[in-house]
Amino acid sequence: MTDILFAEDNPEIREWVSVALERDTCRIRAVADGAAALKAYEEKRPDLMILDVMMPKVSGWDVVTDIRRRDKVVPILMLTAKAAESDKVLGLGLGADDYLTKPFGLAELRARVSALLRRAGVSAATTRQDDVFTFGGHTVSVPRSVLVAKDGAETELTALELGILRFLAAHPGEVVSRESLLNGLWGISYSGTTRTIDTRVGCLRQKLGADGVLIETVYGSGYRYRAV
């Protein structure tokens, strides 16, 4: 059973979402503020976290910042009433993997949760321990979400960064639009900002080092993996 940690200060939303996800055979730990979310994480690492941004005691942004210092892998979905692109970019830059603006529908929430879990490899039935692929001079371990350089040095990847690398590696030499990346990764029609991809590609280029140039920006179109 999938463990989800859900932090939301609105009791009605907390109950509504918890009941809906429990019907999807998820085990939900619902808390009312950011401090409680951090405590719950320490007690047991979840398979996925859903965080409201504006919470008492500790904000969702601060929770993401704290978690990402020690855990680069656990998928994090942010919920917020703020629809401004700058707020979304901030959350993604801090390490969130997806962003959902209130009000939202349960169907979209379920789709995003399923996509995040799928990309993170939580479903053991579809993820083999030897599931790896190459990207430039690096080897990527899917189950571990780790980028392994030729010298053996390892760099952790977020679920979204792993998804981007995998998608580009599957389409070498092709120009892939930002919209195609988003829709392909989430498995649904994504209506959010394409800056999500730009932010993560910038992080990936840094993590790839000299091989970062293999992710080419095709201005006005998207990105291309220049396979070697």
| Confidence (pLDDT) at 127 | 37
For the stretch 163-187, pLDDT in tens is: 888 889 888 899 988 887 776 665 5
For the stretch 62-73, pLDDT in tens is: 999 999 888 888
How would you classify residue 27: left for phi > 0, otherwise alpha for psi between -120 and 50, otherwise beta? Answer: beta
For the stretch 90-109, pLDDT in tens is: 777 788 888 888 888 888 89
Query: What domains are defined for the chain?
Result: 2-124 (3.40.50.2300), 129-225 (1.10.10.10)
Q: Which ranges of the chain have pLDDT less than 50? A: 122-130, 188-189
Sign of the dihedral defined by the CA atoms of residues 180, 86, 96, 192, in that order: negative
Q: What is the pTM of this model?
A: 0.59
